């Protein structure tokens, strides 16, 4: 270090660092708000269709929480040993070097994070269109509005972003609890129309794909590890506390679904929460659920926008071709340029979703294979860093090492295989976009070499 300048292989840049402005509760609200999105209103029906009885269905959701906890333990070690706004990007950089780290940051900027933002934006658009339709491309118009408004809100500063997230998360959790209470207390008893019908067979692997998709997003805690107060101690609380809250919410809502609709009714429902509330209190209940789903999607989109820009900032810090994104606006405590680039790419993906007329499904296919590939690499990075950098202080160490990290890698590998197997054309587009980062990497290297000459 020389003064306040840091020399990196690719560039020399003035260091502007994020400040610890988030409390433990802020961080938990961010993670819970991101994970508990629209999936819990859709995937329980798919899980019920692949399980033999209600007990097995609930067990699958509990297993999903346990698998997420395994991953959270691995990330607890990484986030406390290496607190950095780049999150997984930083771990891959230390473990494997610049090429995998660059490709991850590029994929996150163009595929993973932006695809997730647009996925939630389309969910909002789908449900908002049921209340007020805006023409042929109503869902896409709403989705674009979500991207513009929430990006602008986060550009204003970290305080606006986190306060919005806190209120959206509170509204979402309270709304879900209301669905649970009303569903259990007021839904009419389920009548089995054909008690002699053959129950569905349990297909555990397929059910777990849907469950882990619904649990996805807790790893975003890595990108706020440098902004959490006393992060070396509190990041463990953030990760484990978030997983615990999410698991309880998922078990409660699925219990309510099963009580109010039954396993067969749940499996055949296209909108379980709306059907449950309609059964309990009529059409007004179904309208309430539409609003709740829209709020949930907003909360997930806002949290994803908040954390996604942090990787873009880290990318700009280390690679001159994206140097304009590596600037941290100290007064607002936010990476404005990184947010704007993320917003522009997200708007492009909204257009893609509008053209295909399958916004949600297209974004799921687009993101899944790339996401699980790099999630697997993050588990391997933990093993590499523990071996290569044994002297780095680790306030938290994964218990039962190396069994838990290896188990985490196995789970990620299975989900990578499954996502490649089931992804449509959107998955192929995502992989192609990832590969376009390779020529950019070499262009950056040539540019840096010529500049140094």
List the CATH number of the domain containing 77.
1.20.1740.10
Cα 83 from Cα 142, distance rounded (Å): 36
Residue at 6 is within a domain: no
Enclosing domain of residue 228: 24-189+200-440
Asked if 181 contacts 164 with a C-beta cutoff of 8 angstroms, the reply is no
Half-sphere exposure of 157 (CA within 13 A, CB side): 9
Q: Count of domains in the chain? A: 1
Task: Please name which of 86, 126, 110, 104 lies closest in space to residue 344, comparing C-alpha atoms.
Answer: 110
Residue at 451 is within a domain: no
Cα 70 from Cα 254, distance rounded (Å): 22
Q: What is the DSSP letter of 18?
A: -
Q: What is the pTM of this model?
A: 0.75
Q: What is the DSSP letter of 394?
A: -
- Kindly give, in sequence order, each residue whose CB lies less than 8 Å from that of residue 409, ignoring residues fewer than 6 positions away: 376, 379, 380, 383
* Alpha-carbon dihedral sign for residues 166, 340, 353, 308: negative
Q: What is the pLDDT of residue 409?
A: 95
pLDDT by residue for the chain (453 residues), tens digit each? 333 333 334 333 444 556 677 888 888 887 887 788 767 877 888 888 888 888 889 999 999 999 999 998 999 899 888 887 778 888 999 999 988 988 998 898 888 888 888 888 887 887 788 778 888 788 889 999 999 999 988 888 766 666 777 777 777 777 788 888 887 787 665 555 554 445 556 677 778 878 887 888 787 777 777 778 877 778 888 888 999 999 999 999 999 899 888 888 888 886 788 788 888 888 888 788 878 878 878 877 887 888 778 778 877 777 777 778 877 776 767 788 888 989 999 998 888 878 766 656 677 778 888 888 999 999 999 999 999 999 999 988 999 999 999 999 998 998 888 778 766 666 778 888 888 888 887 777 766 665 554
φ/ψ of residue 400, rounded to 5? 55, 35
Asked if 198 contacts 23 with a C-beta cutoff of 8 angstroms, the reply is no
Residue at 83 is within a domain: yes
Residue at 16 is within a domain: no
Residue at 305 is within a domain: yes
């Amino acid at each position: 270090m020389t003064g306040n300048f840091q020399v990196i292989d690719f560039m020399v840049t003035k260091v502007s660092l994020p400040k610890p402005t988030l409390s433990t509760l802020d961080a938990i609200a961010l993670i819970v708000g991101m994970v508990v999105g629209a999936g819990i209103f859709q995937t329980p029906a798919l899980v019920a269709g692949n399980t033999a009885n209600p007990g097995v269905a609930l067990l699958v959701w509990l297993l999903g929480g346990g698998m997420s906890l395994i991953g959270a333990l691995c990330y607890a070690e990484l986030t406390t040993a290496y607190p950095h706004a780049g999150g997984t990007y930083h771990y891959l950089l230390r473990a494997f070097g610049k090429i995998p780290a660059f490709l991850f940051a590029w994929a996150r900027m163009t595929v993973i994070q932006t695809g997730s933002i647009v996925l939630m934006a389309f969910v909002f658009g789908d449900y908002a269109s049921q209340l007020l339709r805006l023409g042929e491309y109503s869902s896409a118009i709403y989705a674009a509005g979500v991207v513009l408004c929430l990006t602008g809100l986060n550009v204003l500063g970290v305080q606006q972003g986190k306060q919005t997230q806190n209120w959206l998360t509170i509204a979402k959790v309270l709304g879900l609890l209301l669905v649970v209470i009303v569903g259990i207390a007021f839904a009419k008893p389920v009548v089995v129309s054909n008690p002699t019908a053959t129950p569905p067979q349990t297909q555990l692997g397929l059910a777990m794909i849907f469950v882990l998709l619904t649990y996805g997003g807790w790893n975003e805690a890595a990108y706020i590890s440098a902004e959490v107060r006393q992060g070396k101690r509190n990041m463990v609380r953030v990760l484990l506390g978030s997983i615990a809250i999410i698991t309880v919410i998922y078990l409660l809502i699925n219990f309510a679904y099963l009580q109010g609709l039954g396993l067969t009714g749940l499996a055949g429902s296209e909108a379980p929460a709306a059907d449950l509330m309609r059964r309990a209190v009529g059409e007004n209940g179904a309208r309430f659920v539409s609003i709740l789903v829209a709020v949930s999607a907003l909360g997930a989109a806002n949290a994803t926008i908040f954390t996604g820009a942090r990787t873009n900032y880290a990318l700009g810090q280390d690679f001159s071709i994206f140097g304009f994104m590596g600037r941290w606006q100290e007064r607002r405590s936010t990476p404005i340029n990184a947010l704007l680039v993320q917003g522009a790419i997200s708007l492009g993906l909204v257009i893609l979703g509008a053209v295909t007329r399958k916004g949600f499904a297209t974004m799921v296919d687009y993101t899944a294979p790339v996401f699980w590939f790099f999630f697997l690499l993050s588990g391997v990075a933990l093993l590499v860093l523990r071996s290569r950098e044994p002297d780095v202080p680790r306030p938290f160490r994964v218990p039962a090492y190396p069994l838990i990290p290896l188990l985490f890698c196995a789970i990620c590998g299975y989900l990578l295989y499954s996502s490649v197997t089931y992804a449509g054309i959107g998955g192929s587009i995502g992989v192609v976009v990832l590969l376009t980062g390779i020529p950019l990497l070499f262009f950056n290297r040539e540019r840096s070499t010529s500049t140094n000459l």
